[in-house]
Structures are given as structure tokens and as C-alpha cells.
Structure 1
Amino acid sequence: MTRFHKFALAATLALSALGCQDPVDKAAKARIFSPEDPPKVVASAAEKLPPEDVADNPRVARRILSMDAAEVTERLGPHAYKATVSYEWTGAPGTVTTRLTETRTFRAGPGGVVGDFHGVLENSRDQGLEVMRVGGKVYARNRYGTFRQRLRDRGMAERSRAELTGAIRDVDTLFRGRIQLSPQGTVTHEGRTAWRYNVALGPEGDTGVAPQVLPAILEPKGGRDATTQRRLAFFENRTPKSLSGEVLVDSTTSVVLKVRLDGRITVPANDAGGAAELRMVLDSALSEIGQDPQLQPPQDFLPDVDKPQGIADALDRFGIPRNKPEDANKAPGAASPADEPADEEGN
């Protein structure tokens, strides 16, 4: 190496060293090579939520009562969940009472937020669904259908997991966040120490729930149908009348272990219909805490497909030939290339 080349190399190294001292460059490198932030659920699971503060701190109470299934799994590990929710509608005197009962079962495997799980929803009207995730692959079906692998329904499994295990959150929402808890000491559930709280209907006011700002509802050209009017009238005019029960909160993880709620909501008479009352009863509990359910994928399932063929698929099933796109502009009676005799010389 000549003297000139040695001088050029030294100058280059010196300039590189000076460039590394630039604080902007150093900050950029720190961002690029810093470890990836953990998922939001993992960060939430690390938050300390003292269960003894539930009765006096609305924010802590809401966090615990609305805790997502993914965070529960991060805090508690593998477990089983079962909830029964019954709805009983009563209208004006002499009207028929409408009843519906839901059963929700859920099993969470190890692995936290990205772990395996299996959830089933059934009701007394012979409806339901089943969703499972095993080894990162998702399968779903309705109550009597065949499992189908879901490769591109991003977030579908996580949403189903949250809905299946969110019974207490649903009740709390319907009662406008007015679940009021009063401490009654500690008990033992599934071998774990839990804080026991009595439930009552609390006053309106600061419930620890942030107000939601939603866009205005779009009005259809022909007006709302009767079912939609009744549904909106219920949510706008519902008035919680009573609520009782108990809640058990794990002293170590602040996870709700068991719930018993019994409440009533009234709706006054309005343009959408007469006065009505809804009674809701919720029974839920966690069990098999720390036990790996050893979930396995379904033995028989349908592959994921881009789009059902619809009418074309039905034609193929019954052996009825269907026109191809290239035949659409062909003159009537004209033979298609496949029907023409092949050239004897193969040209």
C-alpha cells in the first residue's frame, strides 16, 4: 500500500469516527437496534392492580372487571373458563316472557397472548360457534358445521376469545358501569386466596369508564325497521333497577376468578314499543388453573378458500356445462376451439 493510500484510509476512518459522534446518528442507531417493545397486552399484564383497592378506586375496578382474556392468560397461565348467561324479557302484563340462555366455555393453553386456546358458544335456541387456535393455526365452525381453517381472517380468533370470556364486561356495560363492590374479606377458590366482594347497584356518576365519542348513526332512506328501533330504544332508554351478587378477585394476579350477578333493567314505553323489563343472571368461574389442556387441532377440517364458487360450483356439481368468458362474444352455433377437429399435421 502506497503512502497516499494509507493517508486516504486514515482520513476515511477519522471521518467515520467523527460521524459516529453525531448525536442524531447515535439516537437513530439506538432506535434501530433497540429491542422490540412488548405487545400491549404483555405490558398491561405487568401493571400492578391491588385487588384491595377495587372498592375504593373506580379505575382499578373497571380494569379488573373488563380485563381481556389475553391479559388474563398472561397473568394466570393456562386455565378453563365457563359462564352461563340467562336473559328473560317481560313485557306488559299478559305478554309472553322471552327467555334465552347462553353457555360459554373456553380453555387457554400456555404461551400467554399468543398461546393456544379453544372456545365454544352455545345457546338455548340451538345456535353457536366454535373457534380454536393450535400451533398458530386458526379453525372455526358454526355449531353443527365442519371446521374450516382460517388463514386470512386476521384478528378473528382474538376477537372471538375476547367475546367468549367477556360476560362480566357485557353485564357491566348494560348496567352503565354501575357495579358497586364492597369488600367481605378473603376466601379460597381453586386453592387460591381471593378477595370476596358483594355486588350492589351503584349510583350514577364517576364509574371509571371513559366516555365514548361515537359518530352519528346513518339513517336509511326508507327509515329504520321495527327491530332496529326497539334495539336502539333499549340502549338509549335502559334504566338499571337492581343488581346483586358476588365477585371473587385473585389476591396475586387481580384476575376475576368467580362471578354471580343477578340484575334487572327496565325500558319505559316509547314509540318503538311498550314498557319492558330485562332480567340477567350471570354465573362464571375459572378452573384448572395452571393445567395445560394439551389442545389438538381438529382431525377433519376444510381448507381455506379464496371465495365460494356459488352458482358455478353448483353447475359443476350437477355436471351442467358452463360458458367460459372467452365464449361470451362467440356467434350462436359457432364451435369453440376445443370442439374443432385437430389438424392432422398437428399445426
Structure 2
Amino acid sequence: MAENTVKKIATRESYGNALVELGTRNPDVVVLDADLAEATKTGVFKKAFPDRHIDCGIAEGNMVGVAAGLATTGKIPFVSSFAMFAAGRAFEQVRNSVGYPHLNVKIGATHAGITVGEDGASHQCNEDIALMRTIPGMVVMCPADDVEAKAAVMAAAEYEGPVYLRFGRAACPVINDRPDYHFEIGKGTVVREGMDLTIVATGICVGNALEAAEMLAAEGVSAEVINICTIKPLDEDIIIKSAKKTGKIVTAEEHSVIGGLGSAVCDAVCKSYPVPVMKIGMQDVFGESGSAGALLEKYKLDGKGIYGQIKEFLENGLCTF
């Protein structure tokens, strides 16, 4: 399929649309936002259900506290803001008011990673997955496309307990639009079979990893690509099974290589089946202002960048065929 015919949708759009569908199904679903309803796309829920949308203003910690209170009454609150504010500014409230009592609060964090673009380093949250993984009992999900984002929101609403959902600002290709697609919390998916190495990716990097796999295939390298939406709990079985087949792993994420998907994968393989792992992501640096595409290219998180880093990994003498 030609690149210009691939359907692209930002997962923050998917979040807003899924909330409306949820609101129609379940009157207990309520949505809270921190004066960002237009950007987080919860405005569509506000329009459909104005009595179930609460704008808490620019007070993210208070918003999480309100959501915690609503959860104790049987409501299913979705807290919405940019990842930098939902996971960063409100971390203490998420930890103590939601995580510690294990309340049924869902956190919809949009504008994650460097694809926030021109808003710059202060708004580009590359630490949120690491932060949320450390909270006991917190489920952490980072969907790859529109189909998966909607499925993740629906699954989060059904799940009893705290959930962190990570969404992006930039439009990304729809890769899961197929009849046999099935979503389950805690389960990864092999989206491309391969024998020579395993690429474990999450979020926007799944589509980019598939691009990289195509480039590698042109050079005779068979890459298996695994889409991991649920980073916690991690599907260790699918990763270990692939590692036993290929003998080497590359992880790819629009997040710091410290504490994110790569760290979770390393924990899993070190425990069960040690193999060489290379982590592709933000290499202990802050982002900067620029277009989403330019930033992905600069930090080597686009298809070409992932391909180039994998080539170096394969040619450095540690991994050979």
C-alpha cells in the first residue's frame, strides 16, 4: 500500500471518540479534564454528556483527588490531561490517592513523548511510563494506533483498578484494522513474523518498527515485530518465546530508555532467557522544540532511524547470524 493511502489518526482522537461510546453504554462513566478538553479531545464527551464532564481547571492534583472520591461512589472516572501533567505534576496524588487505595480511576494521558513537537522539552513527557510502572497495581498501556487505542479504553473501563493510558498528539498509521484483531490487557501481539531478531515496540514506534523491518528484509534480515500495548503487566511469554527463536532483541519506544518498555523487557529476559538487548528510545536526554516528524528523525525513532540503529547493533560484533 502506498504511504499516502495509509489511514492515519492521532490516538488522542481515538480517546475522545471511545469515551463517547463508553458514555453511551455506561452511565457511571465520568470524565474530568484540566482545562484542556479541546486538546485531549474530551470535549466531544462534554458535548454529548455535559452533566458527566467536569473541568477542574489547571489543578491536576485536585482533579485526581476528585476522581478518587468519585471512584469510591461507584463511578468510573477518566482523568484527562497532558502526560507531563497527569503523570508528572500529579504523581503524588496518583500514587497516594489512587494507587495506594487501589481505586478504580483511569488516567487518560495525551500528548506524550517528543511528538508533542513545537511545545518543546517542558511538555514532552518521556518519563511517564517509568513513573507509572513504579506504582504498585497500576496497569500501564500505550496503544499503537486508533483501533488499539479504542480497544484499550474499553478494556480499561471493564478492568477494576487504576489504569494509565498513554496517547499521542501526532497522527499515526492504523495497523490493526483487520478482522482477526483481538485486544486483551497484558497480551502482546506478533504483527510480523521473523527469524533473525525480535523488535519489541510500543505506541507510535510499532508502525515505525514495521517500516524498519521492511528495510531489513530488503537486505535479507528477517525481523519479528511484537506490538506491546500493555507495558505493565508485561506479556513476558510472547517476548521469551520470540527471544528463543531469534536470539536477540531490540526495543523501540517514544520514551526514555530508562524505566520504560526497554527496561521492562530487559527485566523479563534477564530473569528467564538472557539474550543481547538494544534499547531504542530517548537516550537520557530531553527533547526540544520542532515538528513531530523532524524530532522523530533527529532522535532516530522513525522507521529509517530504527533501521539504522538495528544495523549498528547487528554489525558491532555482539550479534551475528
TM-score, length-normalised on structure 1?
A: 0.23
Higher strand residue share: 1
Structure showing greater Rg: 1
TM-score, length-normalised on structure 2?
A: 0.24
Higher helix residue share: 2
